[in-house]
Amino acid sequence: MNDTVCPRCHSENPGIARFCAHCGLALDAKGTGVLAAGQVRHPSPEAEPADFEPVRDAENLFFRARPAWGDSALLGTEPFEIHLFNGGYDLMEIVCEAIGLGRNGQTVYRAEHECDHLPRGASKILEVPSYDVNEPIKRFTVRLVSASFDWSPNTHDA
Ligand SMILES: [Zn+2]
């Protein structure tokens, strides 16, 4: 079996390894060794915060969308805030696609949002400006497009 190169710290591990011997990242031993940041399940993730829901195509990432002006939407076309929470590995360069669904489930908003740095246990707000919202949004879904591992040995617990 081929070695698996850890996608976070780039050290080589036996193909059957379930965790990287160097940095402890969970490895997908049954897969091809191709692992994407944001899609590797953390062995002891932070709990999903109340009222959040999972980000699609991701592990340990959650979101909650709210009107920026308060708890309930007045018009549906006001600015929204999407709170992104990371319960897994430290991540950088996160790109998410946010999709706003209208009254009949149709897509009325679709845009990519970026987040430079999102450590484990942290949350960030992605802003959806009102000038991008032309029709009332009833709810959002969020999908992970890509991310990078933040592997900083200096700040990481050994
Ligand atoms: Zn590693």
pLDDT of residue 10: 86
CA of 25 to the centre of ligand 1 (A): 6
CA of 6 to the centre of ligand 1 (A): 5
For the segment(s) 36-149, the CATH number from 1.10.150, 2.30.110, 2.60.40, 2.30.230 is 2.60.40
Residue 64 pLDDT > 90, yes or no? yes
Reading the block at residue 55, the tokens are 């980000």
Residue 157 pLDDT > 80, yes or no? no
At residue 111, what are phi and psi to the nearest 5 degrees?
-155, 155
Structure-token match 């942290």, residue found: 122
CA of 109 to the centre of ligand 1 (A): 38
Which tens digit of pLDDT belongs to each residue from 34-48? 568 898 888 899 999
Which tens digit of pLDDT belongs to each residue from 68-78? 887 666 666 78
Q: How far apart are the first and last CA of the chain?
A: 28
What's the gap between Cα 28 and its chain centre? 18
pTM of the model: 0.82
In which band, very low, low, confident or very high, does the pLDDT at 158 lie, cut at 50, 70 and 90?
very low
Alpha helices (H) along the chain: none
Instruction: Give the start-to-end residue ranges of the domains of the chain.
Output: 1-32, 36-149
CA of 26 to the centre of ligand 1 (A): 9
In which band, very low, low, confident or very high, does the pLDDT at 62 lie, cut at 50, 70 and 90?
very high
Percent of the chain with pLDDT over 90: 54
> With contact defined as beta carbons under 8 Å apart, do 136 and 102 qualify?
yes
CA of 119 to the centre of ligand 1 (A): 17
